[in-house]
Amino acid sequence: MMIVSALLISGAQASAQEADTDFAVGPESCEGMYKSWLLNRLIEETCDYSGFVAEDLGTAVKSVCEAYLPAEVRDPATAELLQTFKDDYDRMGKDALCEDLREGYEMVVDEMRTDQLDDW
C-alpha cells in the first residue's frame, strides 16, 4: 500500500507542478504521472469516488508527456500497477482497500482544488 499512497501524492504534485517552468518533464516524471493517473482511475472506478483526480492527471499526462510514454514504457508500467492493485484488492477486499485509500485520495483532491483556486 505504500506504493499506492506514494503514487497518489506524487501524481498530484506532478500535475500541480506541470504548469511551473521549473518542473522537469522527462521520462521518469512522465512515467510517475502516468502511473498516478492509472492508479487514480482504478481507485475512482473501484471505490466509486466521484473526484476529478484521474481526469486532471490524464489531461496533464497527455498534454506534456505523450512523447515520453511509448508503448514499451506504458505497457510494463500498466501491468505492474494493475497486478499490485489486484493483489491488494484480493488480499484486503474492496471495502477495506477503498477505506485504506480514502484518506490519501481525499488529500490529493484537496491539494488539487487548492492549486486550481490559486491559479484562478
> Can you give the residue ranges of every domain in the chain?
2-114
Coil, helix or strand at residue 7: helix
Task: Tell me the whole-structure pTM to 2 decimals.
Answer: 0.75
| Main-chain phi, psi angles of 51, to 5 degrees | -80, -175
Report yes or no: 46 and 40 within 8 Å, Cβ to Cβ: no
Coil, helix or strand at residue 26: coil
Report yes or no: 24 and 52 within 8 Å, Cβ to Cβ: no
Do you know the residue count of the chain? 120
Q: What is the pLDDT of residues 78-95, one digit of tens each?
A: 999 999 999 999 999 999
Q: What is the pLDDT of residues 45-66, one digit of tens each?
A: 999 997 788 998 899 899 999 9
**Minimal CA–CA distance to 99: which of 46, 39, 22?**
46
H-state helical runs in the chain: 2-17, 27-47, 53-65, 71-92, 94-119
Q: Provide the grid cell at 27.
A: 521520462
More confident residue, 31 or 111: 31
Q: Percent of the chain having pLDDT more than 70? A: 76
Report the interhelical angle of 2-17 vs 94-119 (nearest 10°): 20
